[in-house]
């Protein structure tokens, strides 16, 4: 299959050629592996061990095929490449289908991204927020101080979705703050009518909840939409940001749609940390707000 980079790397034709070659090679290898029912053959592809591990994790229990828009799967990938906040080159929004090995008729559409080093080596493969959400964040979030911060927030929300998809407990252990508060809401029916109830978890409690969920659900698909990003007016350094969005959760044994609220600390010495994660039913009048969070603004 073909990959075309129409713009974004015009300043470096050699890098553009290398990115196109490696991107086409990895997508072709994925399609071949899916057809043969085998693991991905990385021969001849410039890819790091970390990127192989990320893709193998996504591959576990399922196969991933390029979602071409014609019957012969000949539609080329044609996307720009942009340099992200980490200095890597990013090819985003490649359409794929995740197909469950045990239930081949059960598939879900996702978009993935590939990052490359300055030498064109594949550094990572991950699930991206879909195109319209990406464009909204990049263009429309005036509350966020600059484009670099918007892209950073986007990257970490994509990392969060990918961690759920891959059932990656070590990711949550690393990026949930030791003092994180997780709140989940649910609907309860009583003799007096309908009400909403809430349950709180600390880090250990939420990770144990995730372990149980991951164990019984071979497939987990998480998507974010209607994303809004907000900062705190007293946070002059731009360290704390909150993301409010609609979360669609589709798992083997359970699905729901609700409102998700995540507060990130991008100034923590050990890397970005999630300070708060709150989920409510869509029609729940309870609204979380960054001004309600007990942030220690330095």
**CATH number of the domain to which 100 belongs:** 3.10.450
160 and 99 in a single domain? The answer is no
Domain identity same for 77 and 112: yes
pTM of structure: 0.69
Q: Which domain holds residue 261?
A: 148-292
Share of the chain above pLDDT 70, in %: 87
Distance CA 170, CA 115 (A): 21
Q: How many domains does the chain have?
A: 2
| pLDDT tens digits along 168-207 | 999 999 999 999 999 998 888 887 888 889 999 999 999 9
Q: Which of 84, 99, 128 is the last residue of a domain?
A: 128
54 SS3 class: helix
Residue 205 lies in a domain: yes
Q: How far is CA 40 from the centre of its chain?
A: 22
Are residues 122 and 207 both part of a single domain? no
- pLDDT for res 69: 56
Q: Answer yes or no: do 39 and 106 share one domain.
A: yes
Domain assignment of residue 108, yes or no: yes
Q: Are residues 40 and 155 in the same domain?
A: no
Helix/strand/coil for 123: strand
Per the model's pLDDT, the better-predicted residue between 117 and 109 turns out to be 117
> What length is written for the chain?
298
Whether the Cβ atoms of residue 194 and residue 188 lie closer than 8 Å to each other? yes
> What single-letter DSSP state applies at residue 75?
P
Buried b or exposed e, range 33-59, using 16+ CB within 10 angstroms: bbeeeeebebeebbbeeebbebbebbb
237 located within any domain: yes
């Amino acid at each position: 299959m073909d990959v075309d980079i129409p713009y974004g790397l015009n300043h470096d034709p050699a890098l553009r050629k290398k990115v196109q070659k490696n991107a086409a090679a990895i997508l072709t290898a994925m399609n071949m592996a899916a057809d043969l029912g085998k693991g991905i053959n990385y021969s001849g592809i410039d890819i790091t061990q970390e990127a192989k591990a990320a893709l193998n994790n996504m591959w576990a229990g399922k196969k991933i095929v390029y979602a071409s828009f014609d019957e012969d799967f000949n539609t080329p990938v044609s996307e720009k490449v942009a340099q992200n906040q980490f200095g890597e080159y990013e090819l985003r929004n490649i359409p794929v289908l995740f197909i469950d090995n045990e239930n081949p008729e059960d598939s879900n559409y996702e978009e993935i991204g590939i990052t490359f080093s300055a030498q064109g080596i594949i550094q990572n493969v991950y699930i991206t927020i879909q195109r319209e959400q990406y464009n909204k964040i990049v263009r429309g979030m005036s509350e966020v101080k600059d484009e670099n911060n918007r892209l950073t927030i986007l990257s970490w929300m994509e990392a969060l979705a990918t961690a759920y998809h891959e059932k990656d407990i070590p990711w949550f252990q690393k990026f949930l703050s030791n003092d994180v508060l997780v709140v989940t809401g649910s609907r309860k029916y009583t003799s007096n009518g309908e009400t909403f109830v809430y349950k709180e978890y600390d880090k250990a409690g939420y990770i144990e909840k995730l372990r149980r969920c991951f164990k019984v659900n071979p497939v987990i698909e998480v998507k974010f939409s209607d994303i809004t990003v907000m900062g705190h007016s007293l946070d002059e350094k731009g360290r704390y940001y909150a993301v409010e969005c609609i979360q669609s959760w589709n798992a083997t044994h359970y699905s729901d749609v609700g409102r998700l609220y995540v507060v990130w600390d991008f100034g923590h010495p050990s890397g970005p940390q999630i300070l708060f994660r709150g989920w409510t039913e869509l029609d729940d009048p309870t609204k979380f707000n960054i001004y309600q969070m007990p942030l220690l603004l330095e």
